[in-house]
Amino acid sequence: MSRRLDGHTVVVTGASGGIGAAAARRLAGLGATVCLLARRDDELESVADAIRRAGGVAHTYVVDLSDPDDTDAVAARLLADHPRIDTLVNNAARSIRRPITASLERMHDYERTMAINYFGAVRLTLALVPRFLEQGRGHVVISSSMSTQLPIPLFSAYLASKSALESFTRSLVAELGSDGVSATTVYFPMVRTEMSGRTDIYQAMPMLSAERAAGWLVRAVVARPTRVTSLQGAAAEIGMATLPGTVTAGLRPVFRHMDRVLTRRSGVRPDAP
């Protein structure tokens, strides 16, 4: 994975911290011009400054991808600023951990999650597709979750949005693959980031570091495989394709036990949010 990216322009959303920032630094180190998108101006500039000090090229674009007008405006700026855009990394996301029974009167949880995880990513992708077709080449990377590969409780809003984005991306390649448009879905396991850190019991869970996870995104940009996943994720997909009922039933007690263990290790009260 040592291939250089000189002359390539890569757009990375959710680039102000965590996986996105780490991936942007590594992509710039390979010679790519990186366009950093996120809501937080100060953090975004900090990432860009670090890239520039290391000799890389970075441009910042402050945007709220859950806002359609804001997303359209930033897409127009990207297209105006960069004659060629090679790769879009749809990495920005929000996650909500809440039981379905606690969400019965919280439809807004699903709407807010879809707004950025699905609609924001799709809107930005659609804006760049004409440029990809004009170039005869363009690549879309989406950050997804191993949890879409098997039935996971408590994250119905988040996983539904990620599954929708995966389906859109498959259709994108089915329709435009012969015109040079390709895509990679990255199925991350749990990663230690600000987002996962909002759930107290997860402090006791072994997780992939943001730096290691960034390597998965870099591989997706450089090698352009159809997917980047773990052995466990691939095995889960096979299980769900062949014995979905058995796998789902078998995992229920596993997740209940895991939550009890993590709660005990973290010292968080069972009734704590």
Active site members = 158
How far apart CA 107 and CA 160 sit, in angstroms, is 13
What string of DSSP letters covers 47-79?
A: HHHHHHHTT-EEEEEE--TTSHHHHHHHHHHHH
Q: Which residues contact 1 (CB under 8 A, 6 or more apart)?
A: 218, 219, 222, 223
Q: Which residues contact 220 (CB under 8 A, 6 or more apart)?
A: 89, 141, 184, 186, 228
Phi, psi of 15 (to 5 degrees): -100, 10
CA triple 62-63-66, angle to 5 deg: 160
How far apart CA 157 and CA 101 sit, in angstroms, is 12
Token reading at 253: 């007690």
How far apart CA 272 and CA 268 sit, in angstroms, is 7
Block residue for tokens 């990809």 = 132
Phi, psi of 166 (to 5 degrees): -60, -45
Phi, psi of 205 (to 5 degrees): -100, 135
